[in-house]
Amino acid sequence: MVHLRRKLAVLLTLLLVMASAISYGQKITVTGKVVSAADGETLIGATVQNANDLTKGTVTDLDGFFTLEVAPGTILKVSYVGFLSREVTVEDQTALTVALEPNSELLNEVVIIGYGVQKKTDKTGAVSHVTAEELNGGNLTDPIQGMQGKAAGVSIAKKGGDPNAGFSVRIRGASGYTASSDPLYVIDGIPGADPTTIAPEDIENFNILKDAASTAIYGSRGANGVIIINTKKGKNDGDEAISEVFFSSKYSVGKIAKRVNLLSADQIRDYANQYGITFNDGGANTDWQDEIYRMGSTLENSLAFSGGTKNSFYRASVSNTDWTGVMKGTDKARTTAKMNITHKGIDDRLTLNGNIAIAFEKNDYESYDGNDKDDIIFQALTRNPTDPVFDSNGEYDHTQRVFNYENPVAVIDMITNIRDAKRYLGSMKADFKFFEGFTGTTLVSYIRNDEEFTYFRPKGVYASADNGWGSRSYRNHTERQMETYFTYVRSINDKHNLNMLGGYSYREAIFNGFNAQAQNPQSPFIGANNLATFTEVHYGDVGSYKNSEKLIGFFGRIQYNYLSKYYLSTSLRRDGSSKFGKNNKWGWFPTVSTSWNIHSEDFMAGVEWLDQLKLRASYGVSGNQAFASGYSQVTYVPTGLATNPENGEQVVTFTPSHNKNDDLRWERTGEANIGIDFALFNSKINGSLELYHKNTTDLLYPRPTALGGGNVARTTFDNAGNIVNQGVELYLQAYVVNKPNFTYKTSLTATHNRSEWKELISGGGEDAGAKNGWLSGRGVVGDAFYIVNNKVGHEVSAFYLPEIVTIDETTGRFIFRSVSGGYTDQLANAKREFVGSPNPIVELGWSNSITFMKNWDLNIAFRSMIGHKKYNATKMFMDATLDLPELNAVEEALEWKAQGRSSSAVIASQYLENATFLKLDVISLGYNFNVRGIDWIKNLKAYVVANNVFTLTGYSGQDPEIYYANLAYGWDQYNVYPNARTISLGINATF
């Protein structure tokens, strides 16, 4: 009986397998047609795939037809650019007509604006939207780095490859002497939040507000543009929360992309022999760049959870990243954690949203920005390669050739310079719908940043006598903000659409700090952990501070459109700030903007290839108050000790640092913008074109003043200066190919901006303070060693330089044309002329996204600056022959010597180089594993990414890119932390 059952079971199994095979083998040929559900037009090149096996599929022909052999019950996935995808089940029919609905999401994509959201088709201002999928990948040190080249009008540069260095972000040009030119960051509705508090994996999208009509809703904080960061949140699908677990891991390695072409030890010796020079040969063959650089690495791990119920859902994440910089001694570790909770109640009339984000960061620094004893790059480039790293006793070699001549390896190994930072960001937001169309919102937020710095230099680091030094400092910054606003939305007869907003904003910031330092430590093991073990403490070695500032704002906005064709928007904000003089504490910031959806007009009905054509125009005024408080008041600072003649006691003396100015007012930016948005061929091609004129007046400036007449100090902070930025921005996106086995999407950003001085000092007078770009080191000192001169009618940070005519055969000095019309070898008497600008004529970003063979994706991003100049001060210092053979030099010094040169470094136009470049920023290749049928995993992807792959440029320095810094930039001065070329391996998984 048992054997019979077994035989029957086997037979039944075989019959089932045969039945399945027969059923599978019974394929039918399906002929179908794909059309638009909107107008019935056939769709050429639509993709038709087997939803369970995406490797099997076809595309529709010129008449919109397709033919595919499938088994009954097969699910077909039909897709086409500009339309929503659709799945159709094949039963026993052999003819299908599949109608696809137009994808309004491409045109009606929501962008986040100040205190609200808006469909793309409804916008009247200049707003760029960048999603997380569009960001650059690979080895990123900050979330902002992922946006490089992705938004027109937004310049993002990093000062070399230092993991501890920040980014320079400029939106539509720079402006400001003293006030910051950085944009305002808004994270999940919280103005002023630090973007490094957020891990890149937590970001949903960026929304960049560029014109004043968009930024003025933030009043006195919006003049430099606004970057709104929207983070990922928990979601529900209508019935229940979506539960997911996301994990990512990435490991990167990198090395410096380009070195300085220094002379070797043998070349130094040959030089000395050739010219009969006696020098101190240390007997070594040291490559000092090898000694300070290394292979860098990064390890990053992220984990995120989301889930909840229908009415309460959350997302929580934690991320840890460890960076090892390519320069020894430069390291960074950051851990971030974030949680977002959303709750809906009272029949969905109430929505509560809570956010908390925490970031812990530790930085190990090395100094390299100057020419001091502990500036690593300067010392490595200068130090003679015949000097050894260690002497015969195994101690650090301390050969002393000139002043400030140190062993950079000793500096790296012996000096401690660390920062511990903790950042906290929390908010609670409540939205309550009082009745249909009327909603009240209150957002309360708290920001706290704590930083602790520890520096310790034991005895014996430097060649000269040094007692050692240590310091500890602490900085705390807290902000409390509360914003309440009401929104009313109403549509009348589906023709007149109205959106009204009114609100109030309050911000209070408090800054605390403490510092202590001492000399002559008694133990190298305790370090700066206990300054009581140091024996020398002087006046001024201990200090502290505390100050605060407040900002109050009232704002309103009205948006109106008729038939979703004609749009008008106006806003007004009034801000009051404690930073300004008593006569100008309040300011008005109005805007008006309009747009016209031309494609919606009846006369455009026959233009089938045009999906969108919108014309926009706007004008607005925004302000800038991004500077320290107290500039409008007399500020006294301690200057030393003195003896009180009455009682003989030692007392602290004070002196005013600057005068009061009751009329100090806002920096104001008035900006006009004209834009065109377009989409063609079912949105296969879309983009925008912007023209803007941005006029910034009343720049905050530390004006030199004479004592007397009410002035108690030699400086008064005043409003003095006017800069105009005007330019053109272009954004293009195209879905070039959309085939079952191959898709290709490309986007291009192009920006032209010109920054020009219209006024330097209010009320006329000399161009005081216009000269900038001062250089020093290796014999360079004095008033003549500047390279930038800001002048009215010229670009910001323009280069004014003398030209080398020849070399004096007798003295070996350079000869210049003189101011008087003759010739001179004195730089102070040399004639200077405008020879170029560090501002590029055009900036380009070109991003490409390709999928092939169903599971593979390839992303390539290029970036370029065209038409700018950069002053190679490193070369200027290092090709001087006067210091050879005691100090090292670049190989060009040998050429100069052969021509008879024997002078030290000089300012000259010959060192200003064309810095046009093309960079392959990122190339990534990913493979998406087929996880269909595996219930516990949704997505699994492995990838490899290369960053900073190559740079094509004629610039001879290490990096042709411009790092913007207020109103003087565009040169290298042996202080460039080299960029690293990195390769990353990573994996992403969703469960």
Sign of CA dihedral 841, 842, 843, 846: negative
Question: From CA 746, how far away is CA 761, in angstroms rounded?
Answer: 46
Both structure tokens of 65: 């037809």
What's the DSSP call for residue 602? G
Q: For residue 218, give the 3-state DSSP assignment.
A: helix
Question: From CA 517, how far away is CA 541, in angstroms rounded?
Answer: 5
Domains 26-102 and 106-231 share a fold: no
More confident site: 767 or 232: 232
Can you give the pLDDT at residue 112? 82
Q: Is the pLDDT of residue 10 over 60?
A: no
Q: For residue 598, give the 3-state DSSP assignment.
A: helix
Question: From CA 340, how far away is CA 234, in angstroms rounded?
Answer: 7
User: Confidence band (pLDDT; 50, 70, 90) for 14?
Assistant: very low
Q: Does the bond joining 885 to the residue before it have cis omega, within 30 degrees of 0?
A: yes
For every residue of 125-157, DSSP letters joined together read S-EEEEEGGGS--SS-SSGGGGGTTTSTTEEEE
245-289 pLDDT per residue, tens: 999 999 999 999 999 999 999 999 999 999 999 999 999 999 999
Phi, psi of 77 (to 5 degrees): -105, 120
19-63 pLDDT per residue, tens: 444 444 467 888 888 888 877 777 877 888 887 776 677 878 767
Query: CA 213, 219, 223, 227: dihedral to nearest 10 degrees?
Result: -80
Both structure tokens of 937: 């995993």
In the CATH hierarchy, which fold is given to the domain comprising 106-231? Ferric Hydroxamate Uptake Protein; Chain A, domain 1 (2.170.130)
User: Confidence band (pLDDT; 50, 70, 90) for 169?
Assistant: very high
How many secondary structure helices (H) and strands (E) does the chain include? Answer: 9, 53
Give the count of beta carbons closer than 10 Å to the beta carbon of residue 120: 20
Partners of 228 in beta bridges? 186, 207
Can you give the pLDDT at residue 920? 97
Both structure tokens of 949: 């792959």
Question: From CA 837, how far away is CA 749, in angstroms rounded?
Answer: 22
195-240 pLDDT per residue, tens: 999 999 999 999 999 999 999 999 989 889 999 999 999 988 777 8
Q: Which stretch of DSSP H or E encloses residue 97?
A: strand 95-100
Query: For 32, how many CA atoms within 13 A lie in the half-sphere containing its CB?
Result: 29
Question: What is the pLDDT of the chain when averaged over all its residues?
Answer: 90
Question: From CA 672, how far away is CA 666, in angstroms rounded?
Answer: 19
User: Confidence band (pLDDT; 50, 70, 90) for 107?
Assistant: low
Phi, psi of 18 (to 5 degrees): -65, -40
- Amino acid code (one letter) for 761: I
Q: For residue 272, give the 3-state DSSP assignment.
A: helix
Closest by CA to 912, choosing from 866, 829, 970, 854, is 970
Q: Is the pLDDT of residue 742 over 60?
A: yes
- Amino acid code (one letter) for 915: A
Q: Is the pLDDT of residue 1 over 70?
A: no
User: Confidence band (pLDDT; 50, 70, 90) for 854?
Assistant: confident
Question: From CA 556, how far away is CA 575, in angstroms rounded?
Answer: 12
**What long-range pairs does 533-542 form, CB within 8 A, spacing at least 24?**
534/468, 534/470, 536/467, 539/640, 539/641, 540/638, 540/640, 541/516, 541/517, 542/515, 542/516, 542/517
Residue range 377-406: average pLDDT? 94
Give the count of beta carbons closer than 10 Å to the beta carbon of residue 581: 17
586-610 pLDDT per residue, tens: 999 999 999 999 999 999 988 989 9
540-591 pLDDT per residue, tens: 899 999 999 999 999 999 999 999 999 999 999 999 999 998 999 999 999 9
620-667 pLDDT per residue, tens: 999 888 888 888 888 888 888 888 888 888 888 888 888 999 999 989
| Domain ranges (residues) in the chain | 26-102, 106-231
Can you give the pLDDT at residue 20? 43
Beta carbons of 890 and 879 less than 8 angstroms apart: yes
Residue range 109-122: average pLDDT? 82
Can you give the pLDDT at residue 90? 86
Question: From CA 69, how far away is CA 27, in angstroms rounded?
Answer: 6
User: Confidence band (pLDDT; 50, 70, 90) for 766?
Assistant: very low
Bridging pattern class, strands 312-324 and 469-492: unpaired
Share of the chain above pLDDT 90, in %: 66
User: Confidence band (pLDDT; 50, 70, 90) for 15?
Assistant: very low
Lowest mean pLDDT among 67-76, 759-768, 777-786: 759-768
CATH number of 26-102: 2.60.40.1120
User: Confidence band (pLDDT; 50, 70, 90) for 765?
Assistant: very low
User: Confidence band (pLDDT; 50, 70, 90) for 6?
Assistant: low
Question: From CA 962, how far away is CA 972, in angstroms rounded?
Answer: 10
At residue 921's C-alpha, the angle toward residues 917 and 925, to 5°, is 145
Residue range 922-950: average pLDDT? 93
Question: From CA 832, how far away is CA 23, in angstroms rounded?
Answer: 88
Q: Is the pLDDT of residue 8 over 90?
A: no
Can you give the pLDDT at residue 762? 46
Question: From CA 22, how far away is CA 553, in angstroms rounded?
Answer: 75
662-697 pLDDT per residue, tens: 999 989 999 999 999 999 998 899 999 999 999 999
- 37 alpha-carbon distance from chain centroid: 43
User: Confidence band (pLDDT; 50, 70, 90) for 823?
Assistant: very high
Residue range 358-364: average pLDDT? 97
Share of the chain above pLDDT 70, in %: 95
Kindly report the length of the chain: 991
Can you give the pLDDT at residue 654? 87
Can you give the pLDDT at residue 7? 47
**What long-range pairs does 389-396 form, CB within 8 A, spacing at least 24?**
389/284, 389/286, 389/291, 396/460
